[in-house]
Structure 1
């Protein structure tokens, strides 16, 4: 060997770099516990917000998820405060990482329950139940229908105007958040995330995934002519599907311009 010192220096530089690359990305493993009792938590939803993949913890509170250094993991569990953590190099090196979730403290107030006055006759009882009075309009050539507040010629005009007007808020919002909106398709392909969203009504997880404010989500759906009752009562998965439909229509119309 003509220059052993040079070979030693090359090895000293290459080996640490290779080790760092190995630990920087891969499968991240950890355990989720109750911060108060240190007991493992089963069925906690874990979502990688950067790579848009999800999983749940097992009986020992353990989980494994695809992640890279600096990815953000989002933890959600009923009755516990949701939490976000940033994945670090040390977390990959040491596989005994514990993620502690804190229980929520609810102050319950007196609730007066007023049941429906049911008679036992289906024909009568159905009329006493609240219904969604927002009408839907189907437009030839478009795969989805649109909601509007009332059944009138002006309502149809409102629907058409919101779809065809290139300067409306829908176009502005989608154009302002193109990267977040592209996540819609990724989210819909992950069954774990879809299952979590189907059980949620607070928009918290959805806003974290899309990095949008709740008010932006409401503005998008309003300008897609979804009724206020739908926006208020739909679960997060239904809101996701509605946003996806709006976005697909936006892309079609944007290409036509």
Structure 2
């Protein structure tokens, strides 16, 4: 009996704490702006209270939050942004959030000077088949060998180095991140079946990219960019899809 009363007391206490936390949150108004193009299709998410909304055609939004909450802004056109709310934000009539447009920067291209090559006339196979023998005057001294040891044509240091390196990698394989230069959205598109995104998650073609950008703002997304974690990735996408649907439905 005492155990049941204790459990009930703990449950009531937790409920009061949650209710008090929600009660202290206030409805904050804001507007997302950009000086160049109209702002639309931006998702605003409160990471603390697990709440979200989408901006309207004028870039305005309303969301419940409290001081020190983090708001995350996700969009296809604009760079993602995080802001931490302060008391000053709640005193203002609305919060102004400037977003920067994505810019496609071209990678640096280095053009090397073209070298003039003089082709060898006739068949070159004869040259390949020729065998050359060193003589005392033309052969450099092999300083890696002791004076009382000799070996025909010296040591192949390149082959020795490759052999040692191969053995070291085999015995001590290092962790390599093959996807460090790939975004989470691009990784999912190339590794997850389209039918899972469209049929299982119920995402329209125009929603898929925005949904994946929304997922990128969760730090956990980068840890799942590994083919060995396929099931964890699908589970993550399913859970994030519930949040995304709840936000975009408003």
Q: Mark yes or no: TM-score above 0.5.
A: no
Select the structure of larger CA radius of gyration: 2
In the superposition, the TM-score normalised over structure 1's length comes to 0.40
